[in-house]
Chain A
Amino acid sequence: MSKNVASFLNKLDKLSENTIEVFVPSLKKKVSVKPLNLKQQKDLISSVLDGLKGTLDFSKTLNKIIISNSGINDLKIYDKIPFVVVMRKNALGSKTSTVDLNKVIDNFKTVPFEIKDEKVIKHKDLKLTLKVPTLRQENSLLSKCEQEISADQDQLKEGVGKLYIYELLKYIDSVQVEDDTIELNEVKISERVKLVEKLPLSVYSEVSKFIETINKYNSDLLTVDDKEVSIDVEFFDTSIDD
């Protein structure tokens, strides 16, 4: 790297030294996070062009940004909202098409955090251990899902079906049948999919209930006066600001 560029990068570093504070309910404390940079903003917005794959890409990009800007590797998926909202407010202001983000930020301290990180489901000889995944774990699954959904499957039922399976897969930590236990993180993702597809229907509904606790928590955080703000590409659209 030339001296000139290195010196310029040093100056840029100094300019971007400022951080913002985010209250993370699960940690019960404030953590520092770097504001969004130019490339991150573009990466979030450009995913809008790509249908179903774009949706996956958006989630993946968001997770990557949170991990990179906070420097915390083991954040769980229920930690996502506080980071997203505070970084968005810092970049584009508190106004959105539905609610004022300052009120959403107030929710972080008032909405009770009652999520259990683990749950065990039993069905006859089958025992499933569910765990809330980290953002990093979610991203490796999203990458695999992106590869699976080919361009022609995009927008089709098959693609949506795959998304559902991957959503369940995120939360299943291990499967035990009689004395035989499989830790899912030790198994290839394609084999995990086959395994989950063979689970009895009644187990699916139990897994869905567990997932629902996290979805409800996220929804409560994002709701102000019965209006819920959506975290999508539009949320980062620069044309909506204060």
Chain B
Amino acid sequence: MDLSFILPNKKEVMVKEILYKDLRMLSLYRDSGMTGVIKFLESFILTKNLNIIEKLYAFFIIREKCIGEKIAVGSNKGNVNIDTLYIKNNIGLFDDINEVIEIENIKCTFNYPSRFNLGNTDFIFSLIESLEIDNDKIILSNLNEEEYLEVISKLPESIYSHIESFVEKNKAHFDILILEAREKFNIEEIRVNLLSTSFPSFIIRMFDCISDTTYREMIFLLAKRIPDVNFLSNCTYLEIEDYYKLYSDETQKQNENLQKENIS
């Protein structure tokens, strides 16, 4: 099922549900590189041309609707559970950092990057949102990989210093507060930088909630009560958890009744 929602910057975004079978797929991807996992996760965002902060918001929505609102984040005191709403509040409204400069007759618009930093330093060019020469405009996130590289390879070097200045000027906007320090519990502040490789890792961890073994065990167990395995694998994690709870309660009641019958 597709879901639609409005971002804080009023942009409408469509996403696809992430199902139990998709989480199994993700667990199989775990040992491969970050690039494949992020590409797989990005396929659940149906709206094109989003920048990475908009994509983060979309991932929060998918997480809330399909897995749950609490995410485990690593801290100096081990994993802490944080509500996605808390992080969304920290991000707040998206500040408009869009900036247009003109270099050698090329109108260049900078914004939040459209690509995640997956280790290839070329990602920094995705801070360029669009380019325009004589009313001929291209949006970089619309280009395929080949076109993207060709465009980047033909841009004048002088744009580089402007990218550096843009990053420096907006560094506070690229830094997201995940959790404020909790002195009482001796937990240090947790931040993630949008331009670092730890950002895509953070997103991957948000969806890394089952192992291949857990998947098999859960399906095996619930199939005793709901024999249609195909139906189960097409449920969301939240639904599977609900069915498991119902099944567990039902079994417990049956056991209690059985015990009562045996006593009487």
Contact = CB atoms under 8 A, between A and B. Distances in A.
Contacts of A91: 157-158
A156 interface: no
B156 A4 contact: no
Interface in A1-23: 1-2, 4-5, 7-9, 11-13, 15-16
Given A1-B147, A11-B133, A37 B106 contact: no
A41 interface: yes
A36 B157 contact: yes
A46 B160 CA distance: 12
Interface residues on A, range: 20 to 34
Given A37-B157, A42-B122, A9 B136 contact: no
A42 B161 CA distance: 10
Given A8-B136, A11-B136, A42-B160, A37 B104 contact: no
A27 B105 CA distance: 35
A201 interface: no
A91 B156 CA distance: 9
A46 B133 CA distance: 28
B150 interface: yes
B138 interface: yes
A16 B154 contact: yes
A8 B151 contact: yes
B125 to A, nearest CB: 7
B159 to A, nearest CB: 5
Nearest to A47: B121
Interface string A211-242: 00000000000000000000000000011010
A15 B133 CA distance: 10
Contacts of B133: 8, 11-12, 15
A16 B153 CA distance: 11
A38 B136 contact: no
Which of B124, B137, B149, B156 has most A Cβ within 10 Å? Answer: B156
Lowest 7 CB-CB distances: which A-B pairs, in order? A38-B155, A238-B161, A46-B121, A36-B157, A41-B157, A12-B154, A11-B133
Given A7-B136, A38-B125, 11 more contacts: A2-B147, A5-B138, A8-B137, A12-B133, A15-B104, A16-B156, A39-B153, A41-B157, A41-B160, A42-B125, A238-B160
Interface of A: 1-2, 4-5, 7-9, 11-13, 15-16, 35-43, 45-46, 91, 238-239, 241
13 contacts: A1-B147, A5-B143, A5-B151, A8-B137, A12-B154, A37-B154, A37-B157, A39-B153, A41-B157, A42-B122, A91-B158, A238-B160, A239-B164
